[in-house]
Structure 1
Amino acid sequence: MTQKTQWKPARRWGVGVAALAAVVVLVWAAYRPRPMDVETATVTEGRFEQVIEEDGQLRLQHRYLITAPTAAQLQRPTLKVGDAVQAGDVVAVLAPAASQLIDPRTRSVLQQRVGSADAAVAAGRANVQRAQAALAQATIDAERSAKLAQDNFIAASARDQSRLAREAAVQALKAAQAEQNAAEHAASEARAALGRAEPSGGGIPGREAGLWSLKSPVSGRVIKLHKDSSEPVQAGAPLLEIGDTGAMEAVIDVLSGDAPRIATGAAVQLATGRNQPPLAGQVVRVDPVAFTKTSALGIEEQRVNITVALNAPAAELQKLGDGFRVDARITVSAQDGALLVPSAALVRQGEGWQVFVLQAGKARARAVSFRDRNADSAWVKEGLKAGETVVLYPGSGMKDGQPVKGKRAA
């Protein structure tokens, strides 16, 4: 009985100790610091590029504008935008322009002009006949005088006068013939003016005849139609534009402050659309003048146009077109073998920068310096080594030595 009495208190004490230990473990597990889930990345060595990203558009290197060489009536075009043409193909046809409508009074005046012109022609013919008769008489007199002078019946001076009279008759005949020709031309002009005033049952005179075909100077595609129907056009009026879509370039406008950093020959990558491979190119010209452009936020900016030559086959460019939008990535400088850390890992610390390095499950703050940086990464100068793991997007709440649980960024 004595032994049984002594065992019960010892057993109760052991159970109490165990319960207290369990409570302590539960409290420690409940309040101990839990590792923070963070995204991580590895410090690597690679190519560092300083780039300028802007948008622009494609344009044809050469475009040809077909214009009307004279006032005429344009026949309805058969070409559409995008149609392929070869050098020498007919791209537009012009017909003589229609005459203006003439009132009855003007028509009567024109009819009287025709009558006057016919009378002048008749008078010219009569003058020619009179001059011919005078020439015939002068010729007979000259021949007779020559024979008489040969036989010494008249003086030599009389013979010379007859010869000169014949020459005068020849010139008078030529003058009369010229006057007759002038009268006939004037009559034809008067009849033509009257013919334009008279109604015609067959439509506009000369519409089917005298067509003027305009031909393409180059092989390419129709990129714009200025006239898409039959209509009167004036001299110099634009009709259509032709260009080779296989020979294009890109025009990128950048801030005037960035333009001095861009050198001729700089590499450029152009994105033309979703799931499309980028086009490679290089800068061939930086314009020496700037222009004002209002941004999407309503801010006026000074911009400079950069011309980029495309290093792509013509067959690939045929899928694109004039004025297509592109996103450009212009390489300003590049360095191979640079030590790179993601820009998302950098945290401002006073006047400098720091990163959090993952070591033994904890984030350790470390000061770093870099030579240059871009939107994606920084070129590290001091503070990191290749292969170390850094915390991305650490935020202001992260402290040195804080337990973390890293997960590789996708």
Structure 2
Amino acid sequence: MGAATAAVSYRHLSTTNGTTILLVEGSFETGDDPQHIALELAASPAKYIAFNSAGGDRSIAMAFGKAIRKTGLPTLQTKGSPCLETCLLAFMGGLSRYAEDESIGISVETFATSAESDGRLNPSVSAALKDYLGTMGVSASLLDAALSMPLGQSKELNLVDMAGYQLVTAQLNEESASADEVQDIQPTDQAGAVEVFNEFQRVWSGSSSEAVAFLRNVYADRIQYYGKDLSREDVLKEKSAFVDRWPTRIYTARPGSVHALCADKCSVFGVVDWYAFSATRKKGASGAVNLALTWDPVSRRIVSETGRVIETDKAVAGPDRIIRRWILDATACSIGNAVDAEVCKSRSILEADLNSSGWCDQRGLGWRQCASP
């Protein structure tokens, strides 16, 4: 019997800004040698490895992931170049991993073969997959989520989901990458993205007119808004309706939760606690959301906004969630810790937001509605 034929091929691409990409194409089959990636990179270096693949053999895809990890390069996934089913295992090999919103999907077929289509893996196979995910720094909960899906169905992941499963990473590991490999990932871009994220929360907690004016200036002409492609004006209509319904708002990112990843654009994630109140309707609401914004450092505009509610409070009579946050931050600030500067700043912002919303810290009595002048 002759040797198996290789199915994977390679293309060397360059973006308009000069970023070089090694594109891995085709399905992963037994005739493919993962070590060929190193030969391709030796012949023509690249800054990223990307995929255009429908999947293929599970063990070969994992072998490609291990070979990619040895290169120390990041992987990149875009909507225009599919990485389906077991291809995701190869994508995980990136030392750092970047992806566009909803460019990655999961299904039973991501991890299971046709013989395992019911999602019931042999214990040794399940253990090997979890060990692989752990080695690559990906949450094992991704395996559980995929195997629990109905056969034949897939789910596109937004950036919040990807971050939760640790499929995408916060930034390149500069200790393991050369200066050339990270030169187009500017620290100023990441800092700028985080600044925009925090300013978004600050202004959204202020007056309704200021909030809408800020969004008009910071949103791009078109926005990927919670899975929909909308014009800026359409998004502003939704935002205006929200501020009319909830005139009093406090939105605040949890200290230590905000991080950014940047390629051509920057995606920034964070856990945001929120409180909203309408005096006219005598109703309040509060909770927490995993929020993700995509920011273009060239135009300095937000091009995408998405998120997922992770906590909701019942019978909201006041900003109890925000007050609890203030207490936690005030305590941490007083005793000092590794992020005490960020925590102390958060405490001050929360105090100002609570005061603006009509709540005062009455020493010895705790937080109460401020007395009328």
* TM-score, normalised via structure 2 length: 0.19
Q: Give the structure, 1 or 2, with the largest relative contact order (CA under 8 Å, sep 6 or more).
A: 1
Larger radius of gyration: 1
Which structure carries more helix by proportion?
A: 2
* TM-score, normalised via structure 1 length: 0.17
Which structure carries more strand by proportion?
A: 1
